Amino acid sequence: MRTHDVTMEFAESAETDGGPVMGVKGKAQMLSVPIRFDIIRGVAPDYMHSVCIGIMKMLVNLWFDVSHRNKVFSIRRLVKEVDQRLSLIRSPNLISRTPQFIESHMVEDFGISVFYVIIPYLVCTEL
């Protein structure tokens, strides 16, 4: 898992080399705040990056797709457990569509699934 210190090393290398390092393009402006700001733990996922440009869909596919089952980041072995836990979630009344299962097909309705299901599940439970 990426840490603040490792990300800072990537940022410094990116600024020195003039190109992204492991997806980091340089130092974020938030790092100039007088208090120590943890760039990894201090930034919440947002709708635009998570849903609109497809980052969360890409991550779910990387984590659960069978073609990546032998990669270090894969949690494919837990797909049945994740689906079982997803089946227990009751969505708020304002949501008309319920979360879909991962194993039957990759989650299609990411706007709902990302914020009400996937992120809370990954944050609040240990896999």
Exposure of 65 by Cβ count < 10 A (0-12 exposed, 13-18 middle, 19+ buried)? Answer: middle
pTM of the model: 0.52
DSSP string computed for 59-71: HHHHHH-GGGTTS
Are the CB atoms for 50 and 44 separated by under 8 Å?
A: no
Distance in angstroms (rounded) separating the CA atoms of residues 86 and 62: 18
Domain range annotation of the chain = 1-43, 47-124
The pLDDT tens digits for 79-91 are: 888 778 777 767 6
Distance in angstroms (rounded) separating the CA atoms of residues 106 and 14: 34
The pLDDT tens digits for 45-81 are: 777 777 777 777 788 888 888 898 899 888 888 888 8
Tokens of 28: 């974020």
pLDDT at 15: 93
What percentage of residues in the chain have a pLDDT greater than 90?
13
SS3 sequence, 28-43?
A: CHHHHCCCCCCCCCCC
